[in-house]
């Protein structure tokens, strides 16, 4: 959702040593032996559509982005955000946190918020990254090399049951296809794709049905996250003079509107369960990253962390907590905090690098 991971391909540009979850470099670094060609911010988008078996590809009209929003002020230092107003939820913020670790190979893990029941969620010697639980908690979507292909040579969108059965690929292409996220009704997944010989600045957002059909190209951008009603997506996209501003659009790719314009990169992490706020990571040119909140109008921006190495994950299902990563003892570690940024603590028991957490039911 990243900096160069351990064991990633050398020679890839980094925007600071702390960009742990940022997609701008992550997938390009994960493609193994393929060396991405240099690119220029704002260059025309190369066309390399993903494919599925018998897809019905639909590309909606792409209106010009709306006029730039006023630059969002960056709060100076950590600030307490007002708490989320949610229906009565679990004081223990139950559910399961999914993440991936690169040891002994890129693989999917799950853990309870209190650190209990930590286990490998899917056992495979293929690379598997960026897990996301289906709304009912029965399936896990992820990206990685499908069976019968060498690890780290392909990044296709796949799903597997939480019991390890039912593995199937939803896409199949030489393009980089990563970061699948479920629609609230579980029927559709949004994901990011870009040509294998390019980089994240040429990324596009696609959706695909849970059964592998209904492939749609929604337009330029990456890291798309669904609103709770499934009608909109928040995402980031390169703009003239900026590597990543936050936008929102309808679920069919229409009515794009800029939400935030700020120096550096703002990358969406999650829409709040009650639909009023957007969680995102702000990657600054100085190499710092922190977790922020904004309302859905792009105003009232506040900083939840002041750690300089924090990467946003998602809300707990009841909206009372937020999962994120931060460096602890020299490694990226899953943390949780209250929705106002208070009571930050690591999820205990981990011993390896932990990346791209998401909180499922």
Distance CA(357)–CA(349), nearest Å, equals 15
Nearest to 203 by CA among 214, 218, 225: 218
| pLDDT of residue 339 exceeding 80 | yes
State pLDDT tens for residues 178-227: 999 999 999 999 999 999 888 888 999 999 999 988 999 999 999 999 99
Bond into 311 cis (ω within 30) = no
State pLDDT tens for residues 280-318: 999 987 789 999 999 999 989 999 999 999 999 999 999
Report the mean per-residue pLDDT for the chain: 80
Per the domain annotation, does 299 fall within a domain? yes
Per the domain annotation, does 16 fall within a domain? no
Per the domain annotation, does 166 fall within a domain? yes
pLDDT value of position 42: 29
Distance CA(155)–CA(254), nearest Å, equals 27
Q: What percent of the chain has pLDDT over 90?
A: 62
More confident residue, 277 or 51: 277
pLDDT value of position 92: 55
Per the domain annotation, does 6 fall within a domain? no
pLDDT value of position 126: 85
Q: Confidence class of residue 263 from pLDDT cuts 50, 70 and 90?
A: confident
Bond into 228 cis (ω within 30) = no
Overall number of domains in the chain? 1
| pLDDT of residue 64 exceeding 80 | no
State pLDDT tens for residues 93-118: 689 999 999 988 899 999 999 999 99
Structural domain boundaries, residue 236:
23-39+48-58+94-360
Per the domain annotation, does 158 fall within a domain? yes
Helix (H) or strand (E) holding 30: helix 23-30
Q: Confidence class of residue 76 from pLDDT cuts 50, 70 and 90?
A: very low
The residue with tokens 């999962």 is: 323
Q: What is the CATH number of the domain that holds 239?
A: 2.120.10.30
DSSP 8-state secondary structure symbol assigned to residue 341: S
Distance CA(253)–CA(61), nearest Å, equals 8
pLDDT value of position 190: 98
């Amino acid at each position: 959702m990243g900096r160069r991971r351990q064991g990633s391909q050398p020679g890839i540009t980094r925007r600071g040593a702390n960009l742990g979850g940022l997609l701008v470099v992550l997938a390009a670094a994960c493609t193994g032996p393929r060396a991405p060609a240099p690119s220029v911010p704002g260059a025309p988008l190369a066309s390399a559509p993903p494919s599925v078996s018998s897809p019905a590809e639909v590309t909606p009209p792409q209106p010009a982005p709306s006029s730039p929003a006023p630059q969002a002020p960056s709060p100076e230092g950590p600030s307490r955000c007002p708490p989320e107003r949610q229906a009565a939820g679990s004081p223990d913020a139950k559910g399961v946190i999914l993440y991936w670790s690169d040891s002994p190979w890129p693989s999917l893990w799950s853990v309870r918020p209190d650190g209990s029941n930590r286990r490998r969620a899917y056992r495979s010697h293929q690379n598997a990254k960026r897990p996301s639980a289906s709304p009912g908690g029965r399936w896990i979507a992820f990206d990685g090399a499908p069976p019968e292909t060498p690890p780290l040579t392909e990044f296709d969108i796949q799903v597997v049951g939480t019991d390890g059965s039912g593995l199937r690929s939803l896409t199949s292409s030489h393009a980089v296809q990563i970061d699948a996220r479920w629609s609230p009704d579980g029927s559709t997944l949004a994901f990011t794709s870009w040509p294998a010989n390019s980089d994240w600045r040429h990324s596009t957002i696609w959706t695909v049905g849970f059964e592998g059909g209904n492939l749609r190209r929604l337009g330029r951008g990456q890291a798309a996250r669904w609103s709770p009603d499934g009608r909109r997506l928040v995402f980031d996209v390169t703009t003239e003079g900026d590597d990543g501003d936050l936008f929102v659009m309808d679920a069919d790719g229409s009515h794009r509107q800029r939400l935030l314009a700020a120096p550096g990169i703002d990358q969406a992490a999650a829409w709040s369960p009650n639909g009023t706020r957007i969680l995102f990571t702000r990657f600054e040119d100085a190499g710092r990253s922190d977790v922020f909140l904004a309302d859905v109008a792009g105003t009232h921006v506040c900083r939840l962390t002041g750690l300089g190495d924090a990467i946003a994950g998602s809300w707990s299902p009841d909206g009372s907590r937020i999962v994120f990563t931060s460096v602890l003892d020299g490694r990226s570690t899953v943390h949780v905090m209250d929705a106002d940024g208070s009571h930050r603590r690591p999820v205990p028991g981990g011993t390896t690098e932990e990346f791209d957490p998401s909180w499922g039911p």
